[in-house]
Amino acid sequence: MNAQQSARPDHADALAIAATRKLRDLASGPLGGLITHSFRVMPQQHRSMESVERMLVAVERLVRRSRSIDALTLDAVALEAHVTPQAAYRYFHDVGDVIRLFARRVQTVEHELLMSALTEQRFETEVELADTAVSFVIEAYRRMFAVPLRMRDQIARDYTEICYELVWTLSGIVCSTMSRREDPCAGIGAVPLNSALVSVISVAVSFCLRDDHLISSSSSHAMMLNIFLAAIGRAEADCGTLP
């Protein structure tokens, strides 16, 4: 099984993938910091978290309906979700906070999937590890391309940031797993792996904002692979470069 097959869920749309995961489960997971830090006040009761879940569903429904987030308000989201405005303002300062949580749920789920892709198999070489990571990142952003264009561009531009803390945590978990199993790649270390992942994610984000077709090209894959390998201190792979 190749890297893309092992990492690819059965859904095409990144938002649909994220919607299958409960916020409470994500927040309590190893990469849950991005979720817990997204609230004005963290919901403690199950009923309160369910209200927030309904608000995220409402955001997606409203945005898909209008194909824009410009006119959204927190009151409109609360009304659509059948949540009182008082409850909405307890957990969020404004509608931007809700949209940001909406985006961060996607990011947290994708990072969990990446962590699984990098820990559930044993890599014999750094090139195998790099190819799995790069292929996953490319596939993750392809899943974002299934989201309506205007909606995707607005979220990517205004509400999505590189999750440095998540990548640090992910890198530590991956390296600890490889070390515990005494994998051939166990000597890479969390710092180089973090640098490699941040680098290829940065390239993918820039491609996403520029041109959908860039991330799908074989030359882009080769470039990202070489960037990853350089970050972990290995010579470039024999896979070509961008013209």
Spatial separation of the C-alpha atoms in residues 89 and 127, rounded to whole Å: 48
Q: What do you get for the CA distance between the two ends of the chain, in Å? A: 30
pLDDT tens per residue across span 100-134: 999 999 999 999 999 999 999 999 999 999 999 99
Q: Tell me what pLDDT residue 208 has.
A: 78
- Are residues 186 and 175 in contact, defined by beta-carbon separation less than 8 angstroms? yes
> For the chain, what are the domain ranges?
3-231
Q: Determine the 3-state secondary structure of 100 from DSSP.
A: helix
In CATH, what is the architecture of 3-231? Orthogonal Bundle (1.10)
DSSP annotation string for 153-177: HHHHHHT----HHHHHHHHHHHHHH
Q: Tell me what pLDDT residue 146 has.
A: 74
In the block, which residue shows the tokens 């009151």?
75
Please give the single-letter amino acid code of residue 166: L
What residues in the chain have per-residue pLDDT under 50? 1-11, 239-243
- Are residues 232 and 188 in contact, defined by beta-carbon separation less than 8 angstroms? yes
pTM of the model: 0.87
pLDDT tens per residue across span 177-204: 999 999 999 999 999 999 999 999 999 9
Cβ of 120: how many Cβ atoms within 10 Å? Answer: 10
Torsion, Cα of 97, 98, 103, 107 (10° steps): 80
